[in-house]
Amino acid sequence: MKRTTFRPLVLFAESMLFTVIVPCTVTIWLPWAILDAAKDVVPASWDPLHFGALILVGMGVVVYLRCLWDMAVIGGGIPAPVDHPKRLVVRGLYRYVRNPMYLGVLCVLLGEAVFVRSGVLFLYTIAWFVIVQGVILFYEEPALRARFGPEYERYAQSVRRWLPGRGHENTSRNGDADLTRFQITFSAIVLAQAAHSVEEYLGQLWESFPPAQFLTGLISPDLRQGFLVINVSLVAFGVWCVLWPVRQQWNSAYGLAWLWVGIELVNGIGHPVWSLSQGGYTPGVLTAPLLLILALYMANQLRSQKRSAAQQGDVPDGASRRR
């Protein structure tokens, strides 16, 4: 009984230890040593490509953490022989591709290589991918076939190794329902925000918009870097919202959706008003109407869900009874 009680704590400790030893070695310790040996350094000034690279790194981290969560919660283990999953994980991102955790790490490595403009780090990424492919073919897949038998065979036949597809048809809908209109809209808002942030960066919003100057100044004396930190964090937060609360249908998804509605209403209305006051184009005004439309549409969806839930005596469709 005590073993069952402490099992979540054990899985958490194992997951953190595994992350520090394996993924951190691959994405932090070894790249740092390679960059130091190659005399490559982190650039003092950033351009739009650096911004895109940071988004790629952030997406990779979110994908890795989501997969680690599914491995522990659904599989009951970690991606290591010392405590391998006891159940085959075919939900979450694993529903669409067989190796999403490796793809997350690949995004991090590619983002790092692009950020520092390092050919050596890019070659390291290729070498890592070749090694991973060998590990998958000659160790992981044979082990999974031996452990899960026909269940894994059916899964491997319907889900590709690297390219995401339509999804595993036999996956249970419990806790991983198909994308609803609400989930699609939420994802679209996050993507639109990413495009909006890029437009603001290209137009150097922090130089002309007083609120942006104030907020970025709270983060860093270098207003450009402060702007990048705020916007990369915002987009990464949005990706996390999509992959966890929204896709897993947590109760918190409903409140987070209203938070995003508020953020994008401010962007969607504030930028056009600022442009009118300035008598011309200001950074962010081109994508602001899209944010406004999506925010209003999602607000309407949330109100409809609330009315429907009140009639049925249930929680909103965008959430479940978890979290």
| 189-229 tens-digit pLDDT | 998 898 899 889 888 999 988 888 888 888 888 899 999 99
For 6, 7, 59, the CA distances from 1, given in Å and listed in that order, are 9, 10, 38
Kindly tell me the number of DSSP H helices and DSSP E strands found in the chain. 13, 0
Quote the pLDDT of residue 38: 59
Nearest to 186 by CA among 261, 236, 292: 261
What are 257's two structure tokens?
């959706």
Residue 173 pLDDT more than 50? no
Confidence grade of residue 184 (pLDDT, cut at 50, 70, 90): confident
CA distance 158 to 245: 26
- Please state the rounded mean pLDDT for residues 301-306: 82
First CA to last CA distance, the chain: 25
Quote the pLDDT of residue 205: 92
Nearest to 24 by CA among 54, 56, 65: 65
CA distance 185 to 295: 9
3-state secondary structure of 250: strand
Nearest to 111 by CA among 40, 56, 49: 56
3-state secondary structure of 322: strand
What are 252's two structure tokens?
């918190």
Confidence grade of residue 266 (pLDDT, cut at 50, 70, 90): very high
Confidence grade of residue 12 (pLDDT, cut at 50, 70, 90): confident
